[in-house]
């Protein structure tokens, strides 16, 4: 089987999942050195062009790996999922692709189309309009809002606007969304044929910008019910994740969709994932790990150090000390132990550009709308 990214801890979870099943795990990744490269779960890695700037060559490279190495299943991981979905018509007979068709993924990823689609499902999503339209101006005149690019990820370009504030000039299409006050929670789900296999709900405990690097699993029945209804109406199969604001009436409002893996996967026991993804008959529901608090240790350490002189330091330090790292495994120790080396290029660029590691880590894999060479 082939994973289409190796730099992130969630890719490592998937690599270990398929290795535990006995699969031969291959990884395609634009970086030569990355987290999964040093994992015992991975048999071989391939350097491929970055999809954001070389979409057609990226798909060509994936297709070559699939043909030359007898791949029977392709599992996308993160933002590159939107590109990998374009492989579907190129795949040989019998090769599976664990994601939905590209048009649906693009609609869910769009900060403009997603809330409209959810409202058509009867699911709660805040009023959202394209920036520059009369509807957006009317909304902003009377409500606190959030401005964000239509294709944003990892908090890129997010601006909070008070009622009546002018809209800053944008270099790309953006939306104005009504800001809902409440608790920010996220979900990660595995769905099959419109049914929920499992859903994990969690909150960020240490934040790198708007990206969580520390996490706590929580119980939120309203979100679980929301996801169940989404699955039923969309007939979705694959990974899907949502960000919610839960208001004072405990009503969840979906503010964004990520049709891919997010950090919620870390709360599932990885050895249970591969049979579910492969659709094996009688595959059990993935079990939860016993740990409710998890973290990506090195990013969490960096954020804790950086908060020494802020009011976040005490909470960050308690989380750092009291949370288990998502990548550590005694049987596969090198990914965590060598992370300062395999992630060095990301850390250097993040420091030089004064951006979060989460933002920098997705630079070469984000969907540029419209991307050259992919329809």
The model's pLDDT over 121-158, given as tens digits with 9 standing for 90+, comes to 999 999 999 999 999 999 999 999 999 999 877 667 78
What pLDDT does 122 receive? 95
Chain segment 69-96, per-residue pLDDT in tens: 999 999 999 999 999 999 999 999 999 9
The structure tokens listed for 137 are 């101006």
- Of the ranges 230-239, 306-315, 353-362, which one carries the lowest mean pLDDT score? 353-362
Whole-angstrom distance, CA of residue 193 vs CA of residue 314: 44
DSSP for 167-215, written as a single string: PPP-SS-EEEEEPPPSEEEEEEEEEETTEEEEEEEEEEEEEETTEEEEE
Whole-angstrom distance, CA of residue 277 vs CA of residue 346: 30
Chain segment 237-291, per-residue pLDDT in tens: 999 999 999 999 999 999 999 999 999 999 999 999 999 999 999 999 999 999 9
CA distances from 363 to 117, 118, 241 (A): 27, 28, 20
Reported as a pLDDT band with limits 50, 70 and 90, residue 353 is: confident
Please provide residue 189's backbone torsions phi and psi, each rounded to the nearest 5 degrees: -135, 150
Whole-angstrom distance, CA of residue 118 vs CA of residue 364: 29
Reported as a pLDDT band with limits 50, 70 and 90, residue 345 is: confident
pTM: 0.93
For 110, residues 6+ apart whose C-beta sits below 8 A from its C-beta are: 150, 151
Average pLDDT in the 21-28 region? 98
What pLDDT does 208 receive? 83
């Amino acid at each position: 089987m082939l994973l289409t990214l190796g730099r992130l801890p969630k890719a490592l979870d998937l690599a270990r999942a398929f290795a535990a099943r006995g699969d031969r795990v291959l990884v395609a990744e634009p970086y030569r050195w990355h987290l999964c490269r040093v994992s015992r779960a991975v048999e071989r890695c391939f350097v491929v062009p970055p999809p954001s700037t070389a979409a057609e060559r990226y798909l060509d490279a994936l297709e070559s790996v699939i043909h030359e190495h007898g791949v029977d299943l392709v599992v996308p991981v993160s933002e590159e999922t939107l590109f990998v979905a374009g492989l579907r018509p190129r795949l040989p007979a019998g090769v599976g692709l664990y994601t939905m068709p590209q048009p649906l993924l693009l609609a869910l990823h769009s900060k403009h189309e997603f809330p409209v689609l959810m409202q058509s499902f009867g699911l709660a999503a805040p009023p959202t309009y394209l920036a520059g339209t009369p509807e957006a101006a009317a909304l902003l005149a009377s409500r606190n809002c959030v401005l964000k690019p239509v294709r944003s990820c990892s908090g890129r370009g997010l601006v909070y606007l008070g009622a009546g504030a002018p809209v800053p000039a944008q270099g790309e299409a953006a939306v104005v969304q009504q800001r809902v006050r409440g608790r920010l929670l996220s979900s990660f789900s595995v769905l099959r044929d419109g049914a929920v296999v499992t859903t994990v709900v969690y909150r960020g405990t240490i934040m790198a910008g708007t990206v969580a690097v520390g996490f706590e699993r929580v119980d939120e029945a309203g979100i679980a019910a929301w996801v169940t209804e989404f699955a039923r109406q969309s007939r979705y199969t694959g990974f899907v994740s949502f960000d919610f604001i839960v208001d004072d009436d405990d009503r969840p409002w979906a503010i964004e969709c990520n049709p891919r893996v997010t950090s919620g996967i870390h709360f599932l026991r990885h050895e249970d994932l591969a049979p579910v993804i492969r659709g094996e008959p009688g595959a059990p529901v993935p079990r939860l790990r016993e740990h409710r608090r998890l973290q990506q240790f090195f990013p969490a350490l960096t954020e804790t150090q950086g908060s020494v002189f802020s009011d976040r330091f005490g909470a960050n330090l308690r989380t750092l000390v009291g949370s288990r790292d998502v990548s550590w495994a005694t049987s596969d120790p090198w990914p965590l132990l060598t992370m300062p080396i395999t992630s060095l290029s990301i850390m250097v660029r993040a420091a030089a550009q004064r951006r979060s590691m989460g933002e920098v880590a997705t630079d070469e894999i984000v969907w540029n709308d419209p991307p050259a060479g992919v329809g």
